[in-house]
Chain A
């Protein structure tokens, strides 16, 4: 899976800077490269927020078209990808609002929940627990589990832990403060862990089979 690597040498310009410059000078093939580079990530983010395949397809198209239209406004103070994600997040929220007319949809409201703040399920997991499931079963478990999280937690987890953005870049993409991103990330990680434990925890071996269980 592609992740966004941070640049080791900060003095070296990010490769996207040259691509963006080429697009600004009329070289459309450079935009083609940028779309191919980031389309999977943008589609994934849109799916996580909208939880709807059609909406995610529309968001992906609209986000890349809007970024192209607005490219002159991109100053290069942030990475192109961070800027693109911000557009995609806004487009995704707009789609959600359309579907849930009358209901406010926002990722910047602080979600008050104690769930996951104190781990309850403390049973250890089986070694390589994902191997107990087929790829399709596992994908289903992972989808269902993350869908149960509030949208504001989901998107922070996906940007930070799946996409590999830094805390600062995640905050910038979502228009959140750094402490808000940190707080959501911790709660998202703990809630996911707690929910996945239902599937992954070490199963107790029945004593009558004569095998000693190592579960405490």
Chain B
């Protein structure tokens, strides 16, 4: 397997949607390719960081204000 072929399967590897045979091939490539191992690990880390840090927090006061405005208009039939 070449690095380009590995990269084409990167998302399936991360999302765990590869067959057992394909996973074995991918892991075989990883054992001999530090570059692809770094790419896989740091891409996983990228997703994890974005998933665990809210970058557009909605402050409670804003949340309450918007929520109230929505429900008031819904009660009037919009």
Contacts and interface: CB of A to CB of B under 8 A. Distances in A.
B74 interface: yes
B39 A119 contact: yes
A40 B49 CA distance: 18
Nearest to A128: B45
A192 interface: yes
Interface string A60-91: 11001100110000000000000000000000
Interface string A91-103: 0000000000000
A142 B50 contact: yes
A47 B62 CA distance: 14
Name A's interface SS: helix
Contacts of B66: 39, 43, 57, 60-61
Contacts of A68: 74, 78
Contacts of A161: 47, 50-51
Contacts of B58: 39-40, 43
What range describes how many residues of B lie at the interface? 20 to 34
Interface in B33-78: 34-35, 38-39, 41-43, 45-47, 49-56, 58, 62-63, 66-67, 69-71, 73-75, 78
B10 interface: yes
Nearest to A139: B55
Given A122-B39, A182-B11, A216-B34, A65 B52 contact: no
Interface residues of A, number: 49
A32 B71 contact: yes
B34 A35 contact: no
Interface string A118-146: 11001111000110000100110011001
Interface of B: 7, 10-11, 14, 34-35, 38-39, 41-43, 45-47, 49-56, 58, 62-63, 66-67, 69-71, 73-75, 78
Given A142-B49, A190-B10, 10 more contacts: A36-B67, A65-B73, A119-B35, A125-B45, A139-B55, A142-B55, A146-B50, A157-B50, A192-B50, A193-B46
